[in-house]
Amino acid sequence: MDADPPIDPKDDPRSVDDLFNAALCEPDEDLAWDAVMALHWRGTREILDRATALATSVCPLERRVGAEVLGQLGCPARTFPDEARDILARMLETETNADALKAAIIAMSHQDGTEGRRATLAFREHPDPEVRWAVVQALSTLGEPWAIAGLIELSRDSDPRVRDWSTFGLGAQTDVDTAEVRAALVARLDDEDAPTRGEALDGLARRNDPAVPSILRERLSRADPDQFEVEAAGELGDPEFLPLLLALRSAGWPGPSWALDGAIAACAPAPMDTPPARPRP
């Protein structure tokens, strides 16, 4: 028997009590988050007050859920943004539980303005990698020098997931192109973590870095280049890569066909203009 389709959060028929109970007590994380999203959509004063009470609770689980609700309250048009931001800022000053702190940092990443996100830099050396990963989310998409410096530092993190996402933040989620950003991306080209290596290469390709073509020539000549390397060739769009890409297609490259097809199209020479028709005598 087919499972029931998920309920659209804006149409969830449950009461506010039922939604908060599910957010706090549902063991399935996806179902618990469904309840949180429904609370986001309603975004009423009652929900703000109840989330605020949870955010200041003595129970870490309640503080985590309070932060999750406050993070996107009133989605898509935010309600009570100043109140939510102030409560989250206080959590950043006092929170000691890693799960609740991660939730508060992620919630702050959804707020307007940058000062709240800047405050998350204080946790870039937190012992829990999940907290450091949350800091990456708060800094990504920002172009301010302090955010870029934070991402560069986190791109050297001991945790591969933190390195991967901070390298993605530097390479793909900002257009900032400085010597420091390029050096940080180059430093990750030989990372032991494959996704991190790929994000570094993609970020350099987006910036047309002169080191990329020789790297791609070598990697696309292998039997098993990864998707990042194929996509980086598409970013450059250089016809010199076309024979290598076509050879991968002929060899049955196991990666996604859309990535290879896109790279081939990007590297193919532009078609010649159709010559004008010869006039009739």
**Does residue 217 sit within a domain?**
yes
pLDDT digits 0-9 by tens, 117-159 = 999 999 999 999 999 999 999 999 999 999 999 999 999 999 9
Cβ count within 10 A of residue 215: 17
Query: pLDDT-based confidence at 1, cuts 50/70/90?
Result: very low
pLDDT digits 0-9 by tens, 53-90 = 999 999 999 999 999 999 999 988 899 999 999 999 99
3-state helix, strand, coil in the chain (%, to 5): 65, 0, 35
Q: How far is CA 156 from CA 140, 189, 201, 222, in A?
A: 15, 12, 16, 28
**Which residue from 178, 95, 94, 165 is spatially nearest to 134, judged by alpha carbons?**
165
End position of a domain, from candidates 192, 209, 226? 209
Q: What is the DSSP string of 164-220?
A: HHHHHHHHTS-----HHHHHHHHHTTT-SSHHHHHHHHHHHHHTT-TTHHHHHHHHH
pLDDT at 2 over 60: no
pLDDT at 3: 56
End position of a domain, from candidates 85, 112, 139? 112
Residues 103 and 15 placed together within one structural domain of the fold: yes
Total domains in the chain come to 3
**Does residue 167 sit within a domain?**
yes
pLDDT digits 0-9 by tens, 173-225 = 999 999 999 999 999 999 999 999 999 999 999 999 999 999 999 999 988 89
The identity of residue 101, as a single letter, is L
Query: Which of 2 and 233 is assigned the larger pLDDT?
Result: 233
Domain of 49: which CATH number?
Answer: 1.25.10
**Does residue 2 sit within a domain?**
no
Average pLDDT over residues 231-250: 93
**Does residue 171 sit within a domain?**
yes
Structure tokens at 222: 């292998």
**Buried-exposed string 67-79: b where 16+ CB fall within 10 A, e elsewhere:** bbbbbbbbbeebb
pLDDT at 5 over 70: no
Structure tokens at 214: 């020789």
Q: Which residues constitute the domain of residue 168?
A: 121-209
30: CB partners within 8 A, 6+ apart: none
Query: pLDDT-based confidence at 113, cuts 50/70/90?
Result: confident
**Does residue 246 sit within a domain?**
yes
**Which residue from 213, 139, 230, 211 is spatially nearest to 176, judged by alpha carbons?**
139
**Which residue from 280, 279, 249 is spatially nearest to 264, judged by alpha carbons?**
249
pLDDT at 37 over 90: yes
Quote the longest CA-to-CA distance of the chain: 93
**Which residue from 100, 96, 98, 118 is spatially nearest to 109, judged by alpha carbons?**
118
